[in-house]
Amino acid sequence: MARGRRLGPEAPLVFGVTGLILAFPACLLPFMGAGKLGDQRTSLLFTGVAALWDQGMRAMAVLVLFCGGVVPFALLATLALFVTPARIRGLLVSESDLARLAGLLERWAIPEVQVLAVLVALMKLGSLVKITIGAGFWCYCAMSVALLMAVRGLDMDSLRKGERIPGASNP
């Protein structure tokens, strides 16, 4: 994966669209549940953002929302649009603008950190409360993998420099 494209020029489009499809159930389905002594609480993907906000940690809440939700979804959409052929993409946005946007978003999209944070919480809280992993968590994990595969399918260094990626979107 670290060496770049191995799956062909359409792989970023396929993984980008797959990640976008998985993003919806990741946001809507139960992410995880925690319970003790019969009291069970179920949370969604952004329940933690609301809890951080309510606890007065507004900057942290915005950062988690931004880096764990908004930016990964925007990067998936940008990558899918970037590798879409120009005749389908139309005149909505230029390839160089999409390339610069993808390069910028790629630095801030860190859904894998959110997945790791949940896994660390599971390890730490597992002995204190009963934790259940919901379908939203698995969709988010799959969306994170799809995002990583879409990013690895393109040469992001060339994107940041504004160079054309061979086979990415031929007019």
Residue 156 reports pLDDT greater than 70: no
Q: Model confidence at 170, in pLDDT bands (50, 70, 90)?
A: very low
Structure tokens at 95: 């390839």
How sure is the predictor about 22, in pLDDT bands with cuts at 50, 70 and 90? very high
Out of 20-24, 75-79, 84-88, 93-97, which region has the weakest mean confidence (pLDDT)? Answer: 84-88
Residue 171: pLDDT band with limits 50, 70, 90:
very low
Amino acid (one-letter) located at 2: A
Are residues 135 and 82 in contact, defined by beta-carbon separation less than 8 angstroms? no
Q: Which of 23, 21, 24, 52 is nearest to 117 (CA)?
A: 52
Residues 101-107 have a mean pLDDT of 78
Question: With 90 as the cut, is the pLDDT of residue 21 above it?
Answer: yes
pLDDT of residue 166: 43
Name the 3-class secondary structure at 125: helix
